[in-house]
Amino acid sequence: MALPDFNLLITLDAVLTEGSVVGAAKRLRLSPSAMSRALTRVREEMGDPLLVRAGRGLVPTPRATALREPVRKLV
């Protein structure tokens, strides 16, 4: 059995805190494309889009909102 990639929690926390892929990328000192790929992996692991486009920004899904505090505490 493979261990989960706990770095994905850091990615999720950054995206939820910043509210954007670009902001999260800057925070973690990654390129926006690297952050986008990491977010794709988080979405696949969670089985939820987590953040959906609304106008020019991203809005958390109900699942992402519920995960925000537990993930924050873990990170």
- pLDDT tens, 48-64? 999 998 888 889 999 99
Q: Is residue 70, in this structure, part of any structural domain at all?
A: yes
Domain boundaries, position 67: 7-74
Q: Is residue 2, in this structure, part of any structural domain at all?
A: no
Quote the number of domains for the chain: 1
Burial of 34 (0-12, 13-18, 19+ CB in 10 A): middle
- Phi and psi at residue 51, in whole multiples of 5°? -135, 130
Taking residues 5-34, report their average pLDDT: 94
CATH number for the domain that contains residue 18: 1.10.10.10
Q: Record the pTM.
A: 0.85
Q: Is residue 1, in this structure, part of any structural domain at all?
A: no
Higher pLDDT, 56 or 35: 35
Angle at 32 between CA 4 and CA 11, to 5 degrees: 25
Q: Is residue 22, in this structure, part of any structural domain at all?
A: yes
- How far is residue 24 from each of residues 10, 13, 49, measured CA to CA in Å? 10, 9, 16
